[in-house]
Amino acid sequence: MTCLCGVIALLSAAKAQSIPPDSIQAPVLPFAVVAPFEEVMVVSDITEALAQGSGCTPGEVIARCREGIVYALVDGGSTHFSSTPLMHGNRQPLLSKVYYSVSRAYQSIPALHFPSGADSAYHSLLTRQELANHRFLDRMEKYLTANISDTTLFSTLKETFRFDYLVLLNQMDFIQTDDPLTKLPGGGERWCRVHYTIYDAAGTFVTGGVARSSFPKETNDMNTIVTTVFPKCADQIWRSLWLVRNFQ
């Protein structure tokens, strides 16, 4: 299981923090609980190629996808948000509660309108051209959203965490295309896409969409994907939450 354990080393350890109910000190930054997608929600026709290129089994590739994107979020949100992952050990029952409490459906990506200058207020890992391309793709694509069917989910989570947001990762896609309209100028021919939905602690929908990053068609090494592709996807998720929180 070396392949799976490498995620922790590659992304430096997660700065996970849970806040016991009797704690009197709230986190300084807005605090989010991050729930990974289920294993069956990795949609990819390149899993075998990634397994061969990484010296892993296909199952380990999927496990690294789940862990890699979650820890990219936990590590990457530290400037504006703190967060903890619902993974492993005694958090597994809470993750099961999440899965039992949501239903999923494809729908149009919400159109968000921010005042002039809002884009530059958040220091993104993406270039201005990349952000413009993503806005274009948002108008063309749908995303897999999560609807809450059991609202006791939030009171259950509050028994363990003092949190502000619940980040639900719903699906990860790997797409290969030669269509110049769906890849960044000069970019590769593969995309990683992460479908996500964010609720506040009261159970109110905040935002959702697709975070994307392209990478070269020849890249089959999960180490490279975990360290270069997933952080860009995580950055887009935190950016969307930050913009909604500050400008809407």
Q: Is residue 231 part of a domain?
A: yes
pLDDT tens digits along 204-223: 999 999 999 988 888 999 99
For residue 32, the number of C-alpha atoms closer than 13 Å in the C-beta half-sphere is 29
pTM, rounded to two decimals: 0.82
Amino acid 2: pLDDT: 47
Task: Classify strands 102-108 and 82-85 as parallel, antiparallel or unpaired.
Answer: unpaired
Residue 92 CA: distances (Å) to CA of 36, 86, 154, 233: 11, 7, 16, 24
Give yes or no for a contact between 192 and 173, defined as CB atoms under 8 angstroms apart.
yes
Q: What is the mean pLDDT of the chain?
A: 83
Q: Is residue 12 part of a domain?
A: no
Q: Is residue 9 part of a domain?
A: no
Q: Is residue 96 part of a domain?
A: yes
pLDDT tens digits along 174-209: 988 765 554 455 445 788 999 999 999 999 999 999
Q: Is residue 20 part of a domain?
A: no
Q: Is residue 5 part of a domain?
A: no
Q: Is residue 1 part of a domain?
A: no
Q: Is residue 23 part of a domain?
A: no
State yes or no: pLDDT of 112 exceeds 90: no
Instruction: Provide CB contacts within 8 A for 127, sequence distance 6+.
Output: none
pLDDT tens digits along 47-79: 999 999 999 999 999 999 999 999 999 988 778
What is the span of the domain harbouring residue 214? 29-247
Give yes or no for a contact between 30 and 245, defined as CB atoms under 8 angstroms apart.
yes
Domain total of the chain: 1
